[in-house]
Amino acid sequence: MLNTLWSEHIQSSHELYVSRSLRFREDNADIWLPFLHIGERAKILELGCAGGALLHRVKQLVPGVNAVGLDRDDGHIEYAMAKSAELGLECEFIAGDALSLPFADGSFDVTFSHTVTGHVPMQAFLSEQLRVLKPGGRAVVWSVRTKLNLNTGDREPVSGNEKRLFDKLWDAVNDGVEKELHVGEYELSERGYATELEAAGFSEVELQFFTIIPYAPDNAGTPAELAEAQINEGRLAALSSVSKAARRAPGALSPAELAELELLINERYDARLTQYRRGEKLWDIATSTVLSATGGKR
């Protein structure tokens, strides 16, 4: 039976793809790419790769790598394979469990993950990476430190009917899917990442941070196409959130309420786009600060 719980109920492949494509861009690659320690011809494995946005970007920037992505969700893997074909990128995507990797010992130069820790038990996650790494290889674990993030935009409904309907819908979601998928069950402190890497047997453990600005439509350096894509990414996230919740709590909103909620979301983002096109600057901005925890295999 196909496992599509994550892509259907938690985050859709498409919303993750758009969000990560805007986060990990070519024009900001000098900020994030060096943290992956990827050599020109490295064999790399991304764990919990979802629809493959990060792996695709790495392959575009370092074309000589042998790139493999793994995720437990079959829907994500299907999406990733279709995107590889669409983009003409040679990446291998495999449906599998990061806690029991279908690879021989010593297969990879680098293993990495973005926003997967927190949802998996760390020792099982790290010990499998240590096993499949070559001697001298590195595991890189990226965790977004949400407490350090700024978001001055209005991505969430803040008031009025939109908020009332949004809250009514989400308050009715009570299907236990997060629990079943262990979402957020294994969150760690910053120092926890270092001690877990050491406990798993990694050497040369390092904790570093980088900050990306995924959303800044009014910045002078943000081209119009990117600015509009950034604004519309908020719309996509909000509409995806509504469609997921409506699937998970059918009947929580009447069809008329659901249509009203979607209309209100669209109106809010249309208004932001209009302001942008008129040159009205709001200076709303978001940051994403990532803890990059890494350890080497002796």
Ligand X SMILES: C[S@@+](CC[C@H](N)C(=O)[O-])C[C@H]1O[C@@H](n2cnc3c(N)ncnc32)[C@H](O)[C@@H]1O
Residue closer to ligand X, measured from CB, 98 or 261: 98
Least gap, CB of 270 to ligand X (angstroms):
27
Least gap, CB of 70 to ligand X (angstroms):
6
Least gap, CB of 125 to ligand X (angstroms):
8
Residue closer to ligand X, measured from CB, 144 or 172: 144
Non-local CB neighbours of 69 within 8 Å, separated by 6+ positions: 45, 46, 49, 52, 55, 77, 80, 91, 92, 93, 94
Least gap, CB of 111 to ligand X (angstroms):
12
Least gap, CB of 248 to ligand X (angstroms):
17
Residue closer to ligand X, measured from CB, 11 or 169: 11
Least gap, CB of 223 to ligand X (angstroms):
23
Residue closer to ligand X, measured from CB, 48 or 137: 48
CB atoms within 10 A of CB 152: 12
Position of minimal CB gap to ligand X: 48
Give the residues lining the site for ligand X (CB under 6 A): 6, 11, 16, 20, 48-50, 71-73, 76, 97-99, 114-116, 119-120
Least gap, CB of 119 to ligand X (angstroms):
5
CB atoms within 10 A of CB 158: 9
Nearest alpha carbon to residue 198 among 115, 108, 292, 130: 130
What is the rounded CA–CA span in Å between residue 103 and residue 260?
Answer: 49
For residue 236, give Cα distances in angstroms to 8, 231, 253: 15, 9, 20
What is the rounded CA–CA span in Å between residue 25 and residue 21?
Answer: 6
Nearest alpha carbon to residue 101 among 43, 47, 55: 47
Residue closer to ligand X, measured from CB, 172 or 236: 236
Counting Cβ atoms within 10 Å, is residue 222 exposed (0-12), middle (13-18) or buried (19+)? Answer: middle
Least gap, CB of 195 to ligand X (angstroms):
21
DSSP label at residue 34: G
Residue closer to ligand X, measured from CB, 96 or 192: 96
Residue closer to ligand X, measured from CB, 119 or 268: 119
Non-local CB neighbours of 253 within 8 Å, separated by 6+ positions: 165, 168, 169, 246, 261
In the chain, the amino acid numbered 19 is S
Q: Residue 66, CB half-sphere, CA atoms under 13 Å: how many?
A: 6
Residue closer to ligand X, measured from CB, 101 or 253: 101
